[in-house]
Amino acid sequence: MGKFNFAKTEIDGVYIIEPICFEDERGFFMETYNGQDFKNNGLDVEFVQDNHSKSRKGVLRGLHLQYNKPQGKLVRVISGRVFDVAVDLRKSSKTYGDYVSVILSGENRKQLYVPPNFAHGFLVLSKEAEFVYKCTDFYDGEDEGGIIYNDKDIAIDWPLDEVGEENLVLSSKDLNWKSLKETETKF
């Protein structure tokens, strides 16, 4: 039996990954990443950086990308609950501008693999959430970019009813990203 269930999504390269969790009276144990298992399931990636953030309900981070050093990300939530999104920015892809979304939580333990050349973002649905992720390239603030979260062409169905649109919290940077049509990517 494998240590993970890998589910391909409707967008090539994006996977929802469920670690197999072993529980008993002491608690639980699970692997969150195993290079050989990932490679055997079509994800031959090398991670170089781990990140950890904590946000409160209503915080929307994204949609983030890096132009010249695109990052693949393996994302998960260790406490709380978020609505997570990956947007395909590969101009040659038949799913260009489409997105995949999934609820990630400390309870369901699901992970999302977001390949390089995608924009990524999430909305916190619980009182607070701790979000951890592995990256295939280093963060470079000089290379950072984004797409506005409410781009009409992408039309992400954010669950705003769970937080109240008036309670959204975005950084000034995230509020000022342009639309996908106005964003010059080279992917």
CATH number at residue 20: 2.60.120.10
Residue 77 in any domain: the answer is yes
Domain extent, residue 140, equals 4-175
Buried b (16+ CB within 10 A) or exposed e, 48-62: eeeeeeebebbbbbb
Q: Residue 70 burial (CB < 10 Å; 0-12/13-18/19+)?
A: buried
pLDDT tens digits along 29-46: 999 999 999 999 999 999
User: Could you tell me the pLDDT band of residue 2, with boundaries at 50, 70 and 90?
Assistant: low
Would the pLDDT of 11 be above 90? yes
Number of domains in the chain: 1
Would the pLDDT of 108 be above 70? yes
Whole-angstrom Cα distance, residue 60 to residue 14? Answer: 21
Give yes or no for a contact between 179 and 152, defined as CB atoms under 8 angstroms apart.
yes
pLDDT tens digits along 129-145: 999 999 999 999 999 99
Active site residues: 64, 133
Residue 13 in any domain: the answer is yes
Please state the pTM of the whole predicted model.
0.95
